[in-house]
Amino acid sequence: METSDKYLFKYRGCCFIQNMVTPEYIDSLEDFEIKDSDVFLVTFPKSGTIWTQNILSLIYHEGHRNGTEDMELADRVPWIEYNIQNVDYVNRPSPRLFSSHLPYHLMPKGLKNGRGKVIYVARNPKDVLVSYYHFSKVSVLLEEVEDFDAIMEKFLAGRVLGSLWLDHIEGWYAQRDNMNILFLTYEEMKKDLRSSVLKVCDFLGKRLTEEEIDDVVDKASFGKMSVDRRTNYTTMPPDVLDFSKGRFMRKGTVGDWKNIMTVAQNERFDSVFKERMEKLPFKFCWDINDEL
C-alpha cells in the first residue's frame, strides 16, 4: 500500500475507499476471465456512472423498460472492484454487465487483449470536481472537505477517489486501438440523450424499436431518475450516504462549476490541467448553452 488515510488508500497508483476492497482482490482482477459478451462501463467518479448504468439496464432488460421488474442497478451493473456482497461474478449469466472506476492498468488482461466491450463516459473535469465536492458531504465514506480550495488541490494532485482525472482518461484513451471501446461524454448525453442511446445500442449490437428507445430515453431523464429509488441511491443506509447533507441526483447539468469556482480558482485549475487537456480529443462543453 502506498499511502492511506481514514477514507482512502492508494494501491498501485490508484485511490480506493477504505474497507471496501483489498489489495489482494485488486490484484486478482487482472486474471478475472473476460468473455466476448462482457460489457464494462468505465468512468472517473462523478462522470455519469449511474446514468449510464441505468441506460445499460434499460437497454438490456425489457422488464426494466416496461416496469415489470424492479431490480437494483447495483445488481444489474455491479462494480467489479467493489464486490462487497461477494457475488459470484464469474458465473453471472451473459451478457455480464459491470461498472468500474479502475484505471486501465488495473483491468483484467482479457479486456486489454480485446475481449469484451468497454463504454467509457467522460465529463468535463470542473463539473466532476464540483459534483465530487458536494458528494463528499453526502458520502460518509469520503472525507468531507468544506473548503473548496482544499478539495480542488486534492483533485488536481489526484488525491481523490479515482486518483488523477488526467491519468484516468489519458490511460484509457491511449488503448483505444487495442480494445473494443466506445467513448461518450456526459455533455453529449446531456445535449442529445437519444443519439447517445442509439450510439450505445449500435456499439453493443442491440436492436431496439423506436418505442423501446423512447422508453430508455424517458426513464434515463434526470427528472425520472431523481425520483426513482433505484437510481437516486435513497435506499443506501445512513452510514453510507447522509441525505441530510444533500442529494446524489443533485443538479445533473453542464457548467455548474461556474457557480462555485472563483476566477482565481478557475485560473489555478487551468494552469495545472490545460496543457494536458488540450491534447485530448474530447469535446467537452463548459456551459449548458455552449454548442458541442
Query: CA 260, CA 262: separation in Å to the nearest integer?
Result: 6
Exactly one of 64, 101, 134, 168 is catalytic; which is it? Answer: 101
Q: Work out how close the CB of 220 gets to ligand PPS at its nearest, in angstroms, rounded to a whole number.
A: 6
Q: Would you state the cell numbers that stand for residue 28, as one nine-digit string? A: 486478482
Question: Active site includes 134?
Answer: no
Helix (H) or strand (E) holding 9: strand 8-11
- Scan residues 26-65 and list those touching ligand PPS (CB under 6 A): 43, 45-51
φ, ψ for residue 155, nearest 5 deg = -65, -45
Contact with ligand PPS (CB under 6 A) among 220, 241, 261, 285: 220
Per CB under 6 A, 163 contacts ligand PPS: no
Q: Work out how close the CB of 163 gets to ligand PPS at its nearest, in angstroms, rounded to a whole number.
A: 13
Per CB under 6 A, 252 contacts ligand PPS: yes
How many residues are recorded in the chain? 292
Per CB under 6 A, 188 contacts ligand PPS: no
Q: Would you state the cell numbers that stand for residue 292, as one nine-digit string? A: 458541442
Q: Which one, 134 or 230, has the nearer CB to ligand PPS?
A: 134
Per CB under 6 A, 222 contacts ligand PPS: yes
Q: Which one, 10 or 115, has the nearer CB to ligand PPS?
A: 10
Query: CA 206, CA 280: separation in Å to the nearest integer?
Result: 29
Residues 6+ apart with CB under 8 A from 146: none
Contact with ligand PPS (CB under 6 A) among 38, 81, 167, 256: 256
Residues 6+ apart with CB under 8 A from 19: none
Q: Work out how close the CB of 256 gets to ligand PPS at its nearest, in angstroms, rounded to a whole number.
A: 6
- What string of DSSP letters covers 91-140? TSPSSPEEEE---GGGS-HHHHTT-SEEEEEE--HHHHHHHHHHHHHHBT
Q: Are 153 and 12 in contact (CB under 8 A)?
A: no
Per CB under 6 A, 196 contacts ligand PPS: no
Binding-site size, ligand PPS (CB under 6 A)? 22
- Scan residues 120-139 and list those touching ligand PPS (CB under 6 A): 127, 131, 134-135
Q: Which residues have a catalytic role annotated?
A: 101
Residues in the site for ligand PPS, rule: CB under 6 A? 43, 45-51, 127, 131, 134-135, 190, 220-222, 225, 249-252, 256
